[in-house]
Amino acid sequence: ESTPVKVEDALKLNIEEKELVFFKKIGQGACGEVCQYEWKGTPVAVKTIFKSLLRKDKKEEFDKEVEILKCLRHPNVVLFMGTCLLNGNLSIITEYLDRGSLRDVLDTTSPNELSLNIKIKMLIDITQGMNYLHTYNPSIIHRDLKTLNLLVDTNYNVKVSDFGLSRFISGIGSSAKTFCGTLSWIAPEVFAGRGYTTKVDVYSFGIVLWEIITHKQPSGNMAQTISGYPEIPSNINCHPFFSELIKECCNKNPDLRPTFSQILQKLKIISSSVNNPN
């Protein structure tokens, strides 16, 4: 007779505090901090939620992120390695990506420093990760997609991270109504309180695409501007494909925005034409 397996034990998800060696602090937000540690000789990122701030809803947020991360297996989604009670604070341990966030990369390089090939490769990585989340069963809406939540390794591979605001949605056409996200990346339907689908992430991707091309940071409420999307400045030399894709992704009508599967096909075509101009 087989013995029932307890999933948590089988996956060895609970990491002991004594196994973690502090290396450096990476960043701090309103709810906690992210630090680099070593675990069994491997660099890892440790995201801690301060216990003083751990109201019931924050604990639920933590549990939600862990539940999602435990399930995910994709090369463009940050690898979840376990949880830990660190100095009494709840912590999530993930792989460490040494270039930091995509925002860090864009802030420390000029628009011409990163080749078009690298930029297209990064966009394909993000699209593959997001397509995986959206086609997961049940579908996962990220709800806070932005360059700060995209992590980059030495070889400019990009992985989607920070699922604190994600939620599972069941069935085609189902929508979530909770207000989430960061101002400049938020789709117009969220502000309107109409409920929203995976297409809110496509809108945010349009803003991320603009950031990658221009290296600039968006400011204010993009969704409330007349066009609803940011323009690429005329002094930046870029293929018209990108401004067209931004426009499509940021369409005020979510039904008219492409899916990540469609975006992926478009990016692969432009990638081929850049690499084989003839």
Active site amino acids: 144
DSSP string, the chain: -PPPPPHHHHHT-B--GGGEEEEEEEEE-SSEEEEEEEETTEEEEEEEE-GGG--HHHHHHHHHHHHHHHH---TTBPPEEEEEEETTEEEEEEE--TT-BHHHHHHTS-TTTS-HHHHHHHHHHHHHHHHHHHTSSSEEE-S--SGGGEEE-TT--EEE---TT-EEE-STT--B-S--S-GGG--HHHHTT--B-THHHHHHHHHHHHHHHH-PPP-S-GGGSSSSSPPPPTTS---HHHHHHHHHHT-SSGGGSPPHHHHHHHHHHHHHHHH---
Q: Which residue has the tokens 């290296």?
A: 215
Amino acid at 35: C
Strands 80-86 and 32-39: unpaired
238, 174 contact by CB (below 8 A): no
